[in-house]
Amino acid sequence: NAGVMQNPRHLVRRRGQEARLRCSPVKGHSHVYWYRQLPEEGLKFMVYLQKENIIDESGMPKERFSAEFPKEGPSILRIQQVVRGDSAAYFCASSPQTQNTEAFFGQGTRLTVV
């Protein structure tokens, strides 16, 4: 009974490269959420997706960041042309539905931009 699986756990990218972060939700969960945690900060909401739909992307930077949750396969958070300020831990959470249910968090992907 696997929980939320994120990979890679650690990712190093040079400035200007692309970063792709993957999140496999708990089996049967159709709601996925991405959060970013900067050093010494709390988690900041980025985006909420259901299968094939973006429900709320109010926390996503307007440029370079995109997210998808296809019908088959994991959810992907994509960061194009990474900059040093993108270095952070990115957490994914999933839930079977939104109301009154627990969202389970993955262990995060720690992105370092050099």
Partner 1 sequence: GEDVEQSLFLSVREGDSSVINCTYTDSSSTYLYWYKQEPGAGLQLLTYIFSNMDMKQDQRLTVLLNKKDKHLSLRIADTQTGDSAIYFCAESRYGGSQGNLIFGKGTKLSVKP
By CB under 8 A, name the binding residues for partner 1: 4, 31, 33, 35, 40-45, 48, 56, 91, 93, 95, 98-108
- The CA distance from 43 to 70, in Å, is 24
Q: How far is the CB of 63 from partner 1 (least distance, A)?
A: 22
Nearer to partner 1, 2 or 14 (CB): 2
Nearer to partner 1, 15 or 44 (CB): 44
Query: Is 2 strand, coil or helix?
Result: coil
Q: Give me the helices (H) in 38-98, please.
A: none
Nearer to partner 1, 18 or 56 (CB): 56
- The CA distance from 105 to 53, in Å, is 20
